Chains A and B, each alone.
Chain A
């Protein structure tokens, strides 16, 4: 005869699964945010990176998304 799984173990399992899912979602969101950036290279060899969240990048990134959307539509 099978003994019932103790409630504590069930709760621990649910918490572990929920924590893993939340962690994975947070990691993916953070990774996606890190990917959004603008790298500009000048003729004199200098380079500037505009990160996501900066006002400069926020003017450029939507246009890039529009370009990708147009190219793929």
Chain B
């Protein structure tokens, strides 16, 4: 599934999520629910936020996996995997566990489907006999 489709599904499933963006490891935007005007600014703020959270937490327990930044106006959620980061905004006092679950599911859905291996040609009885006689 591509990133844009995954975000569309996410906002349909989770009524708490107001806006969301997916960034790759280099910080480039893969998909966003925001328009072309607000998207780049939002991506920039999310990258700054991610860096600030890393600095503030001091990396005590290793690599950052997820974070919730809660304010009176709403919350910002960050969830990472090896290749991507997804960020989402919600209203005040969201159902934290549910939002994290939806964001992780969304990230997992990006995993590219592996191409199916080509079917090996079936050996016929004739081939087997030829192999046995050789």
- The answer to the question of B115 belonging to the interface, with a C-beta cut-off of 8 Å to chain A, is no
- Choose from B63, B74, B89 the contact partner of A42 (Cβ within 8 Å): B63
Q: Which of B38, B49, B66, B96 makes the CB contact (< 8 A) with A64?
A: B49
B52–A63 CB distance below 8 A: yes
Of residues 19 through 62 on chain A, the ones whose CB sits less than 8 Å from some CB of chain B are 32, 35-48, 50, 56-57, 59-61
Assess whether B65 is interfacial by the CB under 8 Å rule. yes
Contact-residue bracket for chain B: 35 or more
Q: Cβ of A67 and Cβ of B72 under 8 Å apart?
A: no
B47 to chain A, nearest CB (A): 10
Q: How far is the CB of A62 from chain B (nearest CB, A)?
A: 9
Q: How far is the CB of A67 from chain B (nearest CB, A)?
A: 5
A71 interface residue (CB < 8 Å to B): yes
The answer on a CB contact under 8 Å between B55 and A64 is no
Residues of A within 8 A of B (CB): 32, 35-48, 50, 56-57, 59-61, 63-68, 70-73
Extra A-B contacts (18), CB below 8 Å, given A45-B61, A50-B56: A35-B93, A36-B71, A38-B53, A41-B64, A43-B61, A43-B64, A46-B60, A56-B56, A56-B57, A59-B55, A60-B53, A60-B69, A63-B48, A64-B49, A65-B73, A66-B45, A67-B42, A73-B38
Residues of A contacting B4 in the complex (Cβ-Cβ under 8 angstroms): none
Q: Do B76 and A41 touch (CB < 8 A)?
A: no
Distance of A37 Cα from B75 Cα, bound (Å): 10
Output the nearest chain B residue to A56 by Cβ-Cβ distance.
B56
* In the complex, chain B residues whose CB is within 8 Å of the CB of A63: 45, 48-49, 52, 69
Q: Are A70 and B45 in contact (CB under 8 A)?
A: yes
What residues of chain A lie closer than 8 Å to B76, measured between beta carbons?
64, 67-68
